[in-house]
Amino acid sequence: MMNSKLFLAVLAMVCAEEAFSFLLNQYPLHASCKTKWDWPSTACADVVSALEAQIAKWNNTECGSGEKCGYGLTSKTSTQLQAKHVTPVKHYVDDLTFTFKPEGGGSGCQVDGYSTSETWYAVLDYSTNYCNLHNLITGAGLDKVSGYSEQTSDSICTQFSSANCEKY
């Protein structure tokens, strides 16, 4: 009887280690998302303005559906916007950073986006960190600008490939 309990305990530990190893190889260690966007013919000042306006527009607690609310600007410099997003149901807090790099003599803009959960133990996030960033880009209409491109992947953006940003 004791040997079977020990066997089951060891088996459970091996299975948990395999599952955790799989997650570590597929996603970042902590629930977060890194994304790069490029607007080859849009100045960074225009991208900053659009994002800042969208954060202000969604700086409320009433979402209707999804999580397109709860945003707040925390700081702004000439090269960076920082914001927070508070999820409406569970009130989880995520930190967002947008870093702007002018291209093409200032006529274009590349942006590095980063969203990370403040919850220290968060590993999976149902794509929330990706959607925090994506929703601001699409809400501001920046995804419709000529030449727009986005680069990210599951290895740097938790659960990116299963994202449903209409829900989050």
Dump pLDDT digits (tens) for 58-85.
Answer: 998 888 777 899 999 999 998 999 999 9
**Per-domain residue ranges of the chain:** 29-162
CA-nearest of 141, 168, 121, 163 to 35 is 163
**Could you give the percent of the chain with pLDDT greater than 70?**
83
Residue-level pLDDT at 88 = 86
Contact 163, 134 (CB under 8 A): yes
pLDDT at 116 over 90: yes
pTM of the model: 0.83
Write down the CATH number for the domain with range 29-162.
3.30.530.20
